[in-house]
Amino acid sequence: MTEKIFTRNFHLADSHTLTRYRAQGGYTALPKAFGMEPAAITEEVKKANLRGLGGAAFPTGVKWGFIPKGSTAPKYLVINADEGEPGTFKDRYLMERDPHALIEGMVIAARAIGSHTGFVYIRGEYVKPWRILDGAVKEAYAAGLLGKNIQGSGFDFDVVLHRGAGAYICGEETGLLSSLEGKKGWPKIKPPFPAIKGAFGHPTHVNNVETIRAVPHIIHRGAAWFASLGTKSQGGTRLYSVSGHVVTPGVVEAPVSITLRQLIYDRCGGIRGGKKLKAVVPGGSSAAILTPDEIDIQMDVEGPKSKGSMIGSAGIIVMDETVSIPGALMVVARFYAHESCGQCTPCRESTGWIYKMSRRIVEGKGRKEDLDTILDVAKRGAGTTICAFYDGAVGPYISYIEKFRAEFEDLIRNTTHA
């Protein structure tokens, strides 16, 4: 039976309140963290093998260490709660059902990096999560868990909630910081990296909601315990957003050692209606698609990578035998064409043209050379842009065609050209 970390309070009707969070052992890690040196907190997170759970999967403790030592400039902690990756919806539940865990994690992380101001950049469409988190922040201030001299520790920390305006590109950390500063949400060239020059020109650390949510447990129960729950490459459990053609879709908490097959068939009841599995997206729409013979992989950082995909945000999209892969590619391509910020020519132009070509194929007007054109354009543009948006779009462009080319060719061959 999986030990619940992230979802342990989800079944409680008042789990979002300070009273319930404390009754369940909440805010017990905070005094322990105040008794530790900041470097010791960071070292504990490193030993826990906590990886970023928003997409990049970078080692969290290592990332904290990038903040310059001895700098007298203000340092900011920014929580990426934008969660715009299609197929991903786990951070929403963390903010709705256990917001104080995020707040406690923020205070501990802030002490580790020497920050006294934190921002939560929350997706504009997330009205209910924002209202609940806002209420939790107010409760924390009233209880002396935020603000000046928290719990008599001498440590000050303030939290500011900032609502986005619905742009997918603001899930990229430098685009998010541009938006936070009141500018157009365009990504910035790196270096300098946010740890050196981030929000408002000062050292900034950006982490995902789920990642910071794990920190209180690591401090309270120890790095060795958290690391033991996972694999050699990644510690702990994580939340998997499972959608599509499964019997019981939803958010599943499981150790990262679980396989994709186990998630689909054991935890989510298998393919609904007795149909056959056709394809799976393992890490949100940016992840390369997998075929049924590629699902016997662990769902940590290394598992999907071994099949040419990525764990990303762990948004698992399951497709049964009724799904048109050309149609699915058109939907994904339409999304990326719409959400490209337009700053970089390869991304701005290629996403638009690839959507037009994929739509043409689906509408029965495709040409046999379209498939090679899409693959050529996708591969030429990879690695040429300021941020990783286009590199993410390339994953589905290439994998859908390369793994299901016969289906695309049949559609082109058997439809009437206009």
CATH number at residue 316: 3.10.20.600
Q: Are residues 136 and 32 in the same domain?
A: yes
Domain span at 121: 18-228
Please indicate, yes or no, whether residues 64 and 189 belong to a single structural domain of this protein.
yes
Tell me if residue 83 falls in helix, strand or coil.
coil
Work out how many domains the chain is built from and give that number. 3
Q: Name the burial class of residue 272, with classes exposed (0-12), middle (13-18) and buried (19+) by CB atoms within 10 angstroms of its CB.
A: middle
Closest to 373 in 3D by CA, of 357, 393, 384, 349: 357
Domain match, 300 and 375 both: no
d(CA 73, CA 410): 61
Answer yes or no: is 221 within a domain. yes
Q: CA-CA-CA-CA torsion for 172, 175, 181, 183, nearest 10 degrees?
A: -150
Beta pairing, strands 250-255 & 237-244: antiparallel
Residue of 91, 68, 106 lying closest to 204 (CA atoms): 68
- Give the whole-angstrom CA distance, residue 295 versus residue 306: 11
Please check whether residues 113 and 224 belong to one and the same domain. yes
Q: What span, in angstroms and rounded, lies between the C-alpha atoms of 375 and 410? A: 18
Predicted local distance difference test score (pLDDT) of residue 381: 87
Rounded distance, CA 261 to CA 247, Å? 14
Report the chain's C-alpha Rg in angstroms: 22
Calculate the CA 70 to chain-centre distance.
31
pLDDT of residue 418: 46
Q: What is the DSSP string of 91-118?
A: HHHHHHH-HHHHHHHHHHHHHHHT-SEE
Look at residues 320, 338, 362 and tell me which one is the last residue of a structural domain: 320
**398 and 341 housed in the same domain:** yes
Looking at residue 23, its pLDDT comes to 96
Residue 115 lies in a domain: yes
What is the C-alpha separation between 205 and 63, in angstroms, rounded?
Answer: 8
pLDDT of 416: 55
| Distance, CA of 41 to CA of 48 (rounded, Å) | 11
Whether residues 99 and 220 fall in one domain: yes
| Residue 29 φ/ψ, nearest 5 degrees | -80, -25
Q: Both 280 and 312 in a single domain?
A: yes
Residue 148 forms part of a structural domain: yes
**102 vs 6, 39, 83, 109, 370, CA distance in Å?**
10, 21, 15, 10, 47
**Residues whose CB falls within 8 Å of the CB of residue 369, separated by 6 or more in sequence, listed in order:** none
Question: Of 278, 301, 320, which residue sits at a domain end?
Answer: 320
Classify residue 11: in a domain, yes or no: no
Residues 201 and 259 in one domain: no
Residues 148 and 189 in one domain: yes
Would you call the peptide bond into 191 cis, given omega within 30 degrees of 0 as the criterion?
yes
Peptide bond into 304 cis (omega under 30): no
Task: Look at residue 262 and give its three-state secondary structure.
Answer: helix
> Domain ends where: 228, 259, 275?
228
> What average pLDDT values come out for the chain (418 residues) when binned by 10 residues?
87 96 96 96 97 91 91 94 96 97 98 97 96 98 97 97 94 96 94 95 96 97 96 95 98 97 98 97 96 97 96 97 98 97 95 96 93 95 92 95 96 74
The continuous run of DSSP H or E covering 160 comes out as: strand 158-163
Three-state SS sequence of 18-65: HHHHHHCCCCCHHHHHHCCCHHHHHHHHHHCCCECCCCCCCEHHHHHC
Structure-token pair, residue 211: 């990642």
Quickly list H helices, 76-193.
Answer: 90-97, 99-113, 127-142, 173-180
Distances (CA, A) of 96 to 15, 42, 130: 9, 27, 8
Say what the pLDDT of residue 1 is: 61
Q: What is the pLDDT of residue 72?
A: 87
Token pair for residue 170?
């603001």
Residues 246 and 165 in one domain: no
CB 90 within 8 A of CB 136: no
